[in-house]
Amino acid sequence: VSPDVRKSVWQNLSDEAKKESLFLLRFDEDDAAGLMTPRYLAIRSSITVSQALQFVRKGLQEVETVYYIYVLDQVQRLLGVVSLRDLLAAQDTAVIESIMEKDVISVLDKTDQEEVAKILETHDFLALPVVDSFNRMLGIVTFDDVIDVIREEQTEDVYKMGAMEGSADKYLETGILKLVKKRIPWLIILLILGTVSTNIVHHYGNLVLGAAFLFIFMPIITQTGGNSGNQSSTLMIRGLATGQIEFRDIGRVMLKEVIVGILLGLGTGIVILLRSYFLPPGADFMQALTVGVSLVFVVLFSTLAGALAPLLIHRLGLDPTVMSGPLMATVIDVCGLTIYFEIAKLLLHL
Amino acid sequence: VSPDVRKSVWQNLSDEAKKESLFLLRFDEDDAAGLMTPRYLAIRSSITVSQALQFVRKGLQEVETVYYIYVLDQVQRLLGVVSLRDLLAAQDTAVIESIMEKDVISVLDKTDQEEVAKILETHDFLALPVVDSFNRMLGIVTFDDVIDVIREEQTEDVYKMGAMEGSADKYLETGILKLVKKRIPWLIILLILGTVSTNIVHHYGNLVLGAAFLFIFMPIITQTGGNSGNQSSTLMIRGLATGQIEFRDIGRVMLKEVIVGILLGLGTGIVILLRSYFLPPGADFMQALTVGVSLVFVVLFSTLAGALAPLLIHRLGLDPTVMSGPLMATVIDVCGLTIYFEIAKLLLHL
3-state secondary structure A241-274: HCCCCCHHHHHHHHHHHHHHHHHHHHHHHHHHHH
Residue A182 in any domain: the answer is no
Q: Say how far apart CA B328 and CA B330 lie, in whole Å.
A: 5
Distance from CA of A72 to the nearest CA of B (A): 22
Nearest CA among B191, B15, B214, B124 for reference residue A292: B191
pLDDT at B135: 94
- Which of helix, strand or coil describes residue A170? coil
Q: Are B107 and B202 in the same domain?
A: no
Share of chain B above pLDDT 70, in %: 91
- Beta-carbon contacts of residue A105 (< 8 Å; ≥ 6 apart): A119, A123, A125, A128
Q: Pick from B98, B126, B152: which residue ends a domain?
A: B152
pLDDT at B26: 64
Domain of residue B11: give its range: 3-152
* A269: confidence class by pLDDT, cuts 50, 70, 90: very high
**The dihedral of CA A269, B225, B235, B312: what is its sign?**
negative
More confident residue, A163 or B294: B294
Distance from CA of A184 to the nearest CA of B (A): 6
Q: Are B146 and B215 in the same domain?
A: no
Q: Which of A179-193, B149-163, B254-268 has the lowest mean pLDDT?
A: B149-163
B69: β partners = B41, B82
Residue A215 in any domain: the answer is yes
pLDDT at A326: 65
Output the average pLDDT for chain B: 86
Tell if the CB–CB gap between A235 and B159 is shorter than 8 Å: yes
Q: Are A72 and A128 in the same domain?
A: yes
Tell if the CB–CB gap between B176 and A259 is shorter than 8 Å: yes
Residue B161 in any domain: the answer is no
Q: Is A73 on the interface with B (CB under 8 A)?
A: no
Q: Can you tell me the mean pLDDT for B89-118? A: 92
The CATH number of the domain holding residue A311 is: 1.10.357.20
| pLDDT score of B166 more than 70 | no
Residue B183 in any domain: the answer is no
Q: Is B161 on the interface with A (CB under 8 A)?
A: yes
| pLDDT score of A1 more than 70 | no
Tell if the CB–CB gap between A234 and B162 is shorter than 8 Å: yes
Calculate the CA A156 to chain-centre distance.
7
Q: Can you tell me the mean pLDDT for A151-164? A: 78
Taking only residues 281 to 310 of chain B, the set having a beta carbon closer than 8 angstroms to any beta carbon of chain A reads 281, 299
Q: Pick from A130, A151, A172: which residue ends a domain?
A: A151
Residue B47 in any domain: the answer is yes
Share of chain A above pLDDT 90, in %: 41
Calculate the CA A9 to chain-centre distance.
37
The CATH number of the domain holding residue A68 is: 3.10.580.10
Q: Say how far apart CA A297 and CA A274 lie, in whole Å.
A: 17
Distance from CA of A155 to the nearest CA of B (A): 7
Nearest CA among A192, A176, A28, A197 for reference residue A110: A28
Say if residues A265 and A299 touch (Cβ distance below 8 Å): yes
Q: Say how far apart CA B25 and CA B5 lie, in whole Å.
A: 19
Taking only residues 16 to 35 of chain A, the set having a beta carbon closer than 8 angstroms to any beta carbon of chain B reads none
Residue from the list A195, A217, A267 with its beta carbon closest to the beta carbon of B275: A195
Tell how strand B41-43 and strand A137-142 pair up: unpaired
Say if residues B8 and B83 touch (Cβ distance below 8 Å): no
Distance from CA of A77 to the nearest CA of B (A): 26
Say if residues B291 and B285 touch (Cβ distance below 8 Å): no
Q: Pick from B92, B121, B152: which residue ends a domain?
A: B152
pLDDT at B24: 64
Residue A207 in any domain: the answer is yes
A140: β partners = A37, A129
- Which of helix, strand or coil describes residue B42? strand
Q: Are A279 and A337 in the same domain?
A: yes
Nearest CA among B231, B228, B249, B242 for reference residue B311: B249
Q: Say how far apart CA B307 and CA A26 lie, in whole Å.
A: 40
| pLDDT score of B152 more than 70 | yes
Q: Is A347 on the interface with B (CB under 8 A)?
A: no
Residues of B in contact with A253 (CB under 8 A): 171-172
- Which of helix, strand or coil describes residue A27? coil
Residue from the list B67, B230, B249 with its beta carbon closest to the beta carbon of A163: B230
Q: Which of A60-64, A140-144, B87-91, B160-164 has the lowest mean pLDDT?
A: B160-164
Nearest CA among B34, B183, B191 for reference residue B116: B34
Q: Which of A32-36, A208-212, B269-273 has the lowest mean pLDDT?
A: A208-212
Q: Are B344 and B200 in the same domain?
A: yes
| pLDDT score of B212 more than 70 | yes
* φ, ψ dihedrals at B38, nearest 5°: -85, 5
| pLDDT score of B49 more than 90 | yes
Q: Say how many domains are in chain A.
A: 2
* B294: confidence class by pLDDT, cuts 50, 70, 90: very high
In this structure, the dihedral spanned by the alpha carbons of residues A50, A40, B123 and B318, taken in order and rounded to 10 degrees, is -130
pLDDT at A345: 92
Q: Can you tell me the mean pLDDT for A46-61? A: 90
Q: Is A167 on the interface with B (CB under 8 A)?
A: no
B121: β partners = none
* DSSP string of A34-79, one letter each residue: HH-BS--EEE-TTSBHHHHHHHHHHHTTS-S-SSEEEEE-TT-BEE
Taking only residues 110 to 149 of chain B, the set having a beta carbon closer than 8 angstroms to any beta carbon of chain A reads 121, 124, 126, 143-144, 146-147
Q: Can you tell me the mean pLDDT for A83-96? A: 92
B39 burial (CB, 10 Å; 0-12 / 13-18 / 19+) is middle
The helix or strand, by DSSP H or E, that contains position A347, with its residue range, turns out to be helix A320-348
A83: β partners = A68
Nearest CA among B220, B248, B201, B234 for reference residue B303: B234
- Beta-carbon contacts of residue B43 (< 8 Å; ≥ 6 apart): B52, B55, B69, B70, B71, B72, B82, B96
Residues of B in contact with A164 (CB under 8 A): 231, 234-235
| pLDDT score of B137 more than 90 | yes
Nearest CA among A143, A171, A142 for reference residue A158: A171
* B21: confidence class by pLDDT, cuts 50, 70, 90: low
Complex ipTM value: 0.71
More confident residue, B330 or B245: B245
Q: Are A142 and A274 in the same domain?
A: no
Q: Is B327 on the interface with A (CB under 8 A)?
A: no
Q: Can you tell me the mean pLDDT for A12-31? A: 69
Distance from CA of B265 to the nearest CA of A (A): 9
* B192: confidence class by pLDDT, cuts 50, 70, 90: confident
* φ, ψ dihedrals at B82, nearest 5°: -125, 130
| pLDDT score of B198 more than 80 | yes
Q: What is the pLDDT of residues B261-290, one digit of tens each?
A: 999 999 999 999 998 888 877 788 999 999
Q: Can you tell me the mean pLDDT for A324-341? A: 84
Distance from CA of B288 to the nearest CA of A (A): 13
Residue at A72: amino acid letter: L
Sheet holding B68-72, edge to edge: B41-43, B68-72, B78-83
- Beta-carbon contacts of residue A301 (< 8 Å; ≥ 6 apart): A225, A261, A332, A335, A336, A339
Residues of B in contact with A180 (CB under 8 A): 260, 263-264, 267
Residues of B in contact with A333 (CB under 8 A): 219, 223
* φ, ψ dihedrals at B129, nearest 5°: -80, 145
Q: Are B26 and B139 in the same domain?
A: yes
| pLDDT score of B76 more than 60 | yes
Of the residues A198, A221, A236, A304, the best mutation for testing chain B's interface (the one with the most B CB atoms within 10 Å of its CB) is A198
* DSSP string of B161-216, one letter each residue: HTT--S----GGGS-HHHHHHHHHHHHHHHHHHHTHHHHHHHHTHHHHHHSTHHHH
Q: Say how far apart CA B168 and CA B149 lie, in whole Å.
A: 11
Q: Are B97 and B24 in the same domain?
A: yes
Nearest CA among B85, B163, B288 for reference residue A228: B163
Q: Are A22 and A137 in the same domain?
A: yes
Q: Are A218 and A133 in the same domain?
A: no
pLDDT at B320: 81
Q: Are A251 and A109 in the same domain?
A: no
Q: Can you tell me the mean pLDDT for A180-190? A: 87
Q: Are A306 and A242 in the same domain?
A: yes
More confident residue, A109 or A163: A109
Q: Say how far apart CA A109 and CA B242 lie, in whole Å.
A: 29
The tally of CA atoms less than 13 A away on the side-chain side of residue B183 is 31
Residue B187 in any domain: the answer is no
CB neighbour burial string for B10-36, b if at least 16 within 10 angstroms, e if fewer: eeeeeeeeeebeeebeebeeebbbbbb
Nearest CA among B324, B168, B233 for reference residue A238: B168
Q: Say how far apart CA B296 and CA B143 lie, in whole Å.
A: 49
- Which of helix, strand or coil describes residue B12? helix
Helix/strand/coil percent split, chain A, to 5: 65, 10, 25
Output the average pLDDT for chain A: 86
Tell if the CB–CB gap between B329 and A124 is shorter than 8 Å: no
Residue A187 in any domain: the answer is no
* φ, ψ dihedrals at A130, nearest 5°: -110, 130
pLDDT at A2: 63
In this structure, the dihedral spanned by the alpha carbons of residues B275, B224, B298 and A206, taken in order and rounded to 10 degrees, is 60
End-to-end alpha-carbon separation of chain A, Å? Answer: 71
pLDDT at B201: 85
Q: Is B217 on the interface with A (CB under 8 A)?
A: yes
Of the residues A84, A227, A240, A248, the best mutation for testing chain B's interface (the one with the most B CB atoms within 10 Å of its CB) is A227
